[in-house]
Chains A and B, each alone.
Chain A
C-alpha cells in the first residue's frame, strides 16, 4: 500500500515501469551519482504528520502569534491592515489560477493573460502612467529595479534617494546598487519631507535618478511639483516615485506631476500582511521607456481569425531570451498577488477606492485631533495621508508592550532604523479602525505616556 497521498505510483506500477526502462530497480537510475557524494541514511528532516495532526500543529504555531484580525493594529510603515473584499480570496482560490505557471502558452492561458492585462491597465489608471508591467516582487525591489533602469537608460551612475523613503527600501536599493557599482547618495530630510535645497545642490549632470516616496515613510505628502522641477533641471535625470496605491485614490497621480517611473506595493489593495510577504510590487513608466521595463508585459493582439487575445510581449527584454543582456534577472514575479489586487481594485472600483482613501485620511486626522487634545506630542510637519509621527519620550518597545496589555498593536518604532527619531512612534490609522477603537487607542496611549 502506498504511504503518501501525493504519490500515486504503486508497487505494481513500479515493476511495470522498471521493465519498460530496462532496469531492475530505481536505484539503477542513480548509478551516475558518484558513491562519494551519494547520501546515505535518512535526511535529518522533521517527521511527517498525518493531515489532521499537521493542521492542528500549524494552528498551534499560528495561535502563538497576535494577529490583527483580533487585536486592533495601528502599525503601518509600509504594510497595512485594510479591508479585503471576500471575492478576492474566492477568485485567487480557483486552482486554474494558482496552480498554473507563467502563461507561456497563450491559447490555454488567456485567463491569466487577460487578468494581467487588466491589472496593467488599473496600475496605469492609478499612477497616471502609460505602461505598467505584470508585477515585481515587492515595492522596495521595484524601486531598486527602477534605479537600475534609470542608470541603464541615462548611462549615469548616481542615484539620489530621499531619506524619507522607507528605510528597508533604501537598504534594498543600496544592495542592488552595490551589484551594479552605482553610487547611492541620500538626500536629507527637512520638516518631514525631502530637503529641497539639498536636492537642488545634489542633482547634477551625473544624476541617473531621484527616488522619492509619496506619501513618504513618515506619512507626509512630498511636494512632488517642486521635486520634479529640481530633478529635471538635469536633462537626463529621471524622477522615480514610490507610491502607496491606495493613497493615489485621493492624491494627484505622480504621472500627472512629471514622474518618469512610478513603483510601489499593492499590499494595501487586497493582500494580507502575511508577516511581510508575499506582497506585490508594481512598476509603471512612460511610453518612451517601454522597452526598458523589467519583467513580464502582457499585450493585446489578435488570433488567426481576428479575435482579440493576449500574449506575453516585448520578451526580447527578458532573461530567458536576452540572458546576460536582459533588462533584469527577474523571472518569477507575484502574479497571484497581482490578481488579488486586480480583484480588490475591481471590487472597490472607481468609487470604493476614493472612499477608502478618504476614510483613511479622515480617520488619521481624527486620531491626530484627539491626540493633540490629550496633549500628546504629534509631530506634524507637513500634510499627511494616513500615517503620522508621535514623540513618546520613552522607548517605543516599552510603550508598545503596555499598549498590547491594553489590547492594541501600537505603531512602528522609528528609532529602530532612524537614530534622529529615537522614541518616536509612526502611527497608521486605516479605514479598518472604528471611531471607538481610535478613541480607545488614544486614551490608552495617553494613559501609558502620562503614567
Chain B
C-alpha cells in the first residue's frame, strides 16, 4: 500500500448532483405549512453529500481497500474468533422472505421465521447443555447483562436482596465487570493462580452470602480450560450463588464439554464469533442466553414456542425480566448462525473445536522458543505469549503488532489479559490452513530477530500501510468527532 489521503465523502459534494431515484409524487400535494406547524418545519437542510452513484461506489471501494478483513488475510485477534464468514450465510440472510418481513406481521405470516428461531434455540440448547434459550440479546455484553438480570430476578424472588456482588476473574473481558455494574451489582475480582486458572483459595475468600454469581469464561481468556471447574461450581453453588458462562470462547469446546454439564446456570453465546456472524467491522452481533430450568421463567419475553397449530410467540410470562431489546433480537445474524450450524452439523461442529485447538497449540509451539511464555501448558483455542524479552531490547509489544501490519497480518489482541505484561493473545481459528500458520510463525520469528538486530525497523513500523502511526493523544485532547466544512 502507498500512503495516500482519501477525501471524505463530503469533500466530493457539489450542489445539484444526486445519487438516488424516487418516483414522482403521485398523490395530490398539499402545502407543508398546512400540515406541520411552522415551528416544526425544518428550515435548513441537513448537509448530506451531493454525489453521483459512481462517486459513491468509488468512495466506498477506496475505503474498503483501506480496511483489513478476514477475507483480506490472517486475523489472529485473540478472544474475537475471527474465522471465515461463509458466503451462503450472506445469501440466505438476504432472501426476501427473511430480510423483508416485519416484526409485527401476524404469526401465521411468519411461520418460516418462527420455525427458524425455534430450531436455532433447540440447537443452541443442545450445544450448551442448557434447558431454554432466548435469542433476544443483541451482542455478547447485552447477553451478559440479560443473564445477570435473570440471576438478580431469581435471587430477589427468593428474598435474597443481599446478593449484590458478582465475582469476576482478573483475566476476564472488560464487559464482565461493566455488565455487572449496569445490572446493579458490584464487581469483585478473584485472582488467577500460577497456572493461569481461577485460584480456588481466593475464590473461597471472596465468595459469601452476598455473592450473586461468578462470571467465568471457560476456556478462560488465557486459553486454558478451568480444570477445577467442578470444584469451582460447588464453591459458588454452596454459597448460594449462580454460575455464569461467558460464551466468548465456545469455539474451543463444541462437542468437547458443555457449560450445562460443567455446572453453569446461565450461558451467553456470541453468534458473531463461534457461529460465523460475521463481525461487520464491530457489529451487529447476537448474544443468545441459555438458562437451566429453574431460571427459565425469568427469561425475557417473548419466547418462540411450538404448538399443534404452529409456532407462536409466548408473551404470557409473568416472571420475565421484561424486554431487553425491541422485537426478537438480531434475527438476521441468527439466520446466519443457523445456516452455519446446518452447514456443519454435529460432526462438523465437533471438528471445528478440535481443529481450532490443534491450530492454536501448533502455532503456540512454533512461537514459544522466540517469545516469553507466561503459562507453559497446552492451550485450547487461543494462547498468550509475551513480548517481555523484546521489551528489554527496546521493542514494545505495540511495535511488534505494528510490524505485523507490514506483512498483511492483523496483529493479535495486545496488552490483554491485563494480568500478563506485554501480552499477545493469539487465536488462529480452525479455518486457517497450516500454510498460513507457518507463514505467520515465520514472520513472528523474523520480527523477534529484528528486535535483536535492527530494532528500529520494528520500532518505526508500520512501513507499508496507507498511513503511519496516528497521534491518539491529539485525538483525545482536541476531539474532532465530525467533519466541519471549511468555508
Contact = CB atoms under 8 A, between A and B. Distances in A.
Contact of A7 (B127, B327, B351): B351
A310 B6 CA distance: 11
Contact of A350 (B48, B56, B430, B467): B48
B419 interface: no
Contact of B410 (A105, A172, A401): A105
Contact of B97 (A61, A101, A316, A383): A61
Given A309-B467, A361-B36, A58 B339 contact: yes
Interface residues of A, number: 206
B279 A101 contact: yes
Contacts of A329: 141-142, 144-145, 175, 178-179, 181-182
A415 B364 CA distance: 60
B171 interface: no
12 contacts: A6-B84, A37-B258, A43-B255, A48-B345, A112-B281, A137-B325, A141-B142, A313-B475, A332-B283, A353-B48, A383-B36, A412-B104
Given A57-B342, A66-B105, A89-B94, 19 more contacts: A6-B83, A46-B341, A47-B346, A49-B342, A49-B343, A81-B100, A87-B19, A87-B57, A95-B85, A99-B71, A101-B80, A115-B60, A224-B40, A273-B99, A324-B180, A350-B13, A350-B45, A350-B50, A362-B25
Interface stretch (A154-162, A199-207, A231-239, A292-300): A292-300
B27 to A, nearest CB: 4
Interface string A26-52: 101111111011110011111111010
Contact of A299 (B60, B187, B416, B476): B476
B25 A359 contact: yes
B374 interface: no
Contacts of A311: 470, 472, 475
B469 A307 contact: no
A323 B104 contact: no
Contacts, number: 700
A336 B283 contact: yes
Given A111-B67, A274-B332, A290 B139 contact: no
Given A301-B471, A302-B470, A131 B482 contact: yes
A345 B22 CA distance: 14
Interface in B442-487: 462, 465-472, 474-476, 479-483
B434 A54 contact: no
A253 interface: yes
Interface in B78-114: 80, 82-86, 88, 90-106, 109-113
Nearest to B321: A175
Contacts of B142: 137, 141, 329-330
A28 B405 CA distance: 34
Interface residues of B, number: 206
Interface in B32-80: 32, 35-37, 39-43, 45-51, 53, 56-57, 59-72, 75, 77, 80
B351 A320 contact: no
Given A20-B365, A37-B229, A435-B26, A178 B255 contact: no
Given A32-B225, A43-B350, A366-B28, A66 B467 contact: no
Given A61-B112, A103-B282, A249-B42, A321 B348 contact: no
Interface stretch (B204-212, B289-297, B354-362, B386-394): B354-362
Contacts of B373: none
